[in-house]
Amino acid sequence: MTVILDGKKLRDELLDELKNKLSSYNVIPKLVVILVGENPASRIYVNNKKKTAEKLGINSEVIVYPADISEKELLAKIEELNVDNSVNAILVQLPLPAHIDKSKVINAISPLKDVDGFTPENSGKLLAGENPYVYPCTPKGILLLLDKYGIEVDGKHVVIVGRSNIVGKPLAVMLLNRNATVTVCHSHTKNLSEITKTADILISAVGEKLIEDNMVKMNCVIVDVGIFKDINGKTRGDVDFEKVYEKTSYISPVPGGVGPMTIASLMLNTVELFDLQTKRSCD
């Protein structure tokens, strides 16, 4: 019998625990999100983050800039936030306009305030097998979901479809650090279905309908990270859920699977950074 990996339920459990923890704090953690331009999807994501933070008792500020802001001005604002002791976590919502160098912006964020876990220092720690200050939100959410349902990754063959810096690459390293055998596939991979059929755990993070029932083996665990609107306006994931469902032991839905866990991880990371900064200031 197939089990649904319910990200909404776990998110609610984790956020309830976090809210109770925060109720005992004398100082409220602060998350600052920078939004550049008027990308509708980004606006929705940012508003959801702000609402979730406020429900928990986290101080959340959204700074909105026009799409034509200069790179210099944006970098100056990040430096200002870096030295502001009242700010514990900084997030720059992606994508950014073409004239702004994304790498420069990410690299400018203090690693101790890097709530996404994308800075070179945090990425380097992860690659070296050390603990970064925080783990990237979506990969962290995926592993929390697998852990909640008792899905062991040690010794399992995990196939990841997608090699982004946000999901695929950090997730591959996090799984390797847990002794999984990891294969990463991407747009240049030949015979994709032959590889995905060998997966004990299949994780797809592409953003288009890709994984069909003939691409998975029986009792595979599937985590669907992709999300997009089909021609009828329905929210879908990478996996053909209806066809693949019967072949899986566990499967995450879209929506309601990984998405809620990403938001939960962002809130967890904000509080973890606050705790770390507080501890350092007391040492």
Binding positions are: 162-164, 227
Bridge partners for 25 per DSSP: none
Bridge partners for 91 per DSSP: 33
Whether 84 is a known active-site residue: answer no
Per the residue annotation, which of 6, 113, 114, 116 is the catalytic one?
Answer: 116
Bridge partners for 157 per DSSP: 181
Q: How far is CA 282 from each of CA 81, 87, 275, 278, rounded to the nearest angstrom?
A: 21, 17, 11, 6
Residue 168, H or E segment:
helix 168-176
Per the residue annotation, which of 30, 49, 140, 169 is the catalytic one?
Answer: 49
Phi, psi of 36 (to 5 degrees): -110, 120
Whether 234 is a known active-site residue: answer no
Q: Which residues belong to the annotated binding site for NADP(+)?
A: 162-164, 227
Contacts of 118 (CB under 8 A, 6+ apart): 106, 109, 136, 165, 166
Whether 197 is a known active-site residue: answer no
**Residue 117 in tokens:** 């876990």
Distance CA 28, CA 14 (A): 18
Q: What residues are annotated to the active site?
A: 49, 93, 116
